[in-house]
Amino acid sequence: MKSTVVVGYDQTPHSEVALEQAAREAAMRGATLNVVTAFRRPDSSGSAQSAQDADPQDTARKTAEAVAQHGVDRVHERRPQVQATPYALVGPAGKIIAQAAHSADLLVLGSRGQGGFTGLQVGSTSMRALADACCPVLVVRGEPDVTHERIVAAVDIDEYCEPVLDFAFAEASRRGVRITVIHVWDEPWIVSYGQQDPGIADDIALIEREREDRLAALIQSVQHRYPGMQPFHQVATGSAGRLLVEAAERADLIVTGARRHGEGRHGMQIGPVTQTLLHHAACPIAVVPVS
């Protein structure tokens, strides 16, 4: 089956950047692109509507349809080979966009859309879509013209992380760029203790070597599917959020994972490190759901 990329689009500057990135992803994947614009059902309570008045809901739908079609037209102007389809869907934007991408291979979002609070660096709509999404989500941020020819995969080797590695390797292979895999050993208490007691330094070094061996084995289990890819890997010690934000300054994309909700619920649990990246990273972030 042909793969599908979905993008949330509302004609704001952030969504224009997301639209271009989504079109690029669809072209690289040979995928169809669904351009989704969400709209609210107008509240007509307390107002009498005459026979001559336009139906507010019909007007809202037509406006949303025009916005989605505008997005499709822009895609066809820049990438005529991409098959793009407009969708105008009624409901809360974050939830509706996530539902529209339920069976997609990728959902692409801008960092902020209409109604976003200027104090937030990732808007509430994007955060809601992330929390409800069942597929990998690419949140576009940073300067689109700045390139480093490198993708960073941030993995937690104490959790199941193969989907994160697989997504990062596939993306690097499609783009023809380098890949760096980073695992941050975030144990500040033992590092602080080691600074006070030099005798524990050997134990810390042993733990780091063991983690590096585990990371190398995980990479090798995925690497065979991507011949020609020569990843660099690193085990770092310290604050995961800070170190990964620093790594994002030298990357075109940083890929991380988020646990799926349990008990039959759709969506992902966005942890504190991923939230830090979403609000502070200098490049786009791909969040991949893992079990």
Q: For the CA atoms of the chain, what is the radius of gyration? A: 21
Whether the pLDDT of residue 51 is over 70: the answer is: no
Q: Kindly give, in sequence order, each residue whose CB lies less than 8 Å from that of residue 228, ignoring residues fewer than 6 positions away.
A: 173
What CATH superfamily classification does 1-46+56-140 receive? HUPs (3.40.50.620)
The residue ranges of every structural domain in the chain are 1-46+56-140, 145-291
Mean pLDDT confidence for 100-129: 72
Beta carbons of 137 and 78 less than 8 angstroms apart? no
Which ranges of the chain would DSSP assign to H, the alpha helix? 13-29, 56-78, 93-100, 124-132, 162-175, 188-196, 201-223, 240-248, 272-280
DSSP string, 250-286: T-SEEEEEEEEPSTT--SEE--HHHHHHHHH-SS-EE
Measured between alpha carbons, how far is 101 from 36 in angstroms, rounded to an integer? 9
Rounded-to-integer distance, Cα 79 and Cα 75, Å = 6
pLDDT above 70 covers what percent of the chain? 86
At 35, is the pLDDT very low, low, confident or very high (cuts 50, 70, 90)? very high
Reply yes or no on whether the pLDDT at 195 is more than 50: yes
pLDDT band at 8 (very low <50, low <70, confident <90, very high): very high
Nearest to 291 by CA among 159, 183, 170, 133: 159
* CB distance 62 to 56 below 8 Å: no
Q: What is the mean pLDDT of the chain?
A: 87
- The C-alpha atoms of residue 278 and residue 245 are separated, in whole angstroms, by 9
pLDDT digits (tens, 9 = 90+) for 63-91: 999 999 999 999 999 999 999 999 999 99
- The hierarchical CATH code for the domain 145-291 is 3.40.50.12370
Q: What dihedral do alpha carbons 66, 72, 77, 82 form, nearest 10°?
A: -170
pLDDT at 260 over 70: yes
- pLDDT score for 121: 47
145-291 shares the fold of 1-46+56-140: yes
CB hemisphere CA count around 164 (13 angstroms): 31
Asked if the model's pLDDT at residue 252 lies above 60, the reply is: yes
